[in-house]
Amino acid sequence: MNLLAVDTTGEPLSLAVRAGEKVYAFHRTLKAPHDETLLPQIDRLLKRADLELRDLDAIAAASGPGRFTGIRIGMAYAAVAAGALKIPALAVSRLEAAAGKIEGKLICAVVPGWREEKFYQVFRGASSVGPAVWADPKLWHERENDLRKRHAVIAECDPTAEDLLAPAARHLARKRRPVFAPLYLKPAGYEAKRPSR
């Protein structure tokens, strides 16, 4: 299976290619914006993996949470490129990717936001059991305490494109795949005063 994963949701440009059993990754903060660097870096990474775009079985994009424009850049690329290649475009939540890095019956995936805010979602195995939520530090600490009382494993990390590969492969193997849609938890340009639970 050959997969390309793209994550443009944050400051670093994060890319990963699974070529059979080997994984090649790129994760770096560049001076130019993602819309200028994405295509050349994908070309370089595919060359490292000795692949061409036509060799891919699917393209996955981080659907969020993250920066509004960044989410759009990665998902637009995946949709257009996969459409041209006639292969699936897969939307993978960064929270799902974070949850996949740890084992437990009940997992709370946590991705850092800005100003100590948190994005979180609860999973049982690979399946979510609640919506993705954005919370300020106080609300998150209250929720974290509740989850620990329920013996949830807290999986806090900042996933990279490489972490998208495993959930993307699971989605590709299923007949019914998640809807290809962005996960916006904050409106564009929004500065929160009272984040929701």
User: Average pLDDT for consecutive 10-residue bins of the chain (197 residues)?
Assistant: 97 97 97 96 98 98 94 98 98 96 92 89 90 90 92 94 97 89 74 45
73 and 118: one domain? no
Burial profile 74-108: b = 16 or more Cβ within 10 angstroms, e = fewer: bbebbeebbeebebbbbbbbbbbbbbbeeeeeebb
Pair (151, 55) in one structural domain: no
Q: What is the pLDDT of residue 126?
A: 81
Tell me if 132 sits within 8 A of 183, measured CB to CB: yes
| Same domain as 77, residue 129 | no
- The number of domains in the chain is 2
The whole-model pTM stands at 0.91
Domain that holds residue 24: 2-93+160-173
Is there a single domain that holds both residue 62 and residue 50? Answer: yes
CATH of the domain at 136: 3.30.420
Amino acid 188: pLDDT = 52
In this structure, the answer to whether residues 81 and 169 fall within a common structural domain is yes
Whether 7 and 91 have beta carbons less than 8 Å apart is answered as: no
Are residues 108 and 139 both part of a single domain? yes
Q: Are residues 11 and 100 in the same domain?
A: no
Long-range pairs for 104-107 at CB < 8 Å and ≥24 separation? Answer: 104/152, 104/153, 104/155, 105/151, 106/147, 106/150, 106/151, 106/152, 106/153, 107/152, 107/153, 107/155
Q: How far is CA 179 from the centre of its chain?
A: 14
Whether 167 and 84 share a structural domain: yes
pLDDT on residue 138: 85
In a domain, 193, yes or no: no
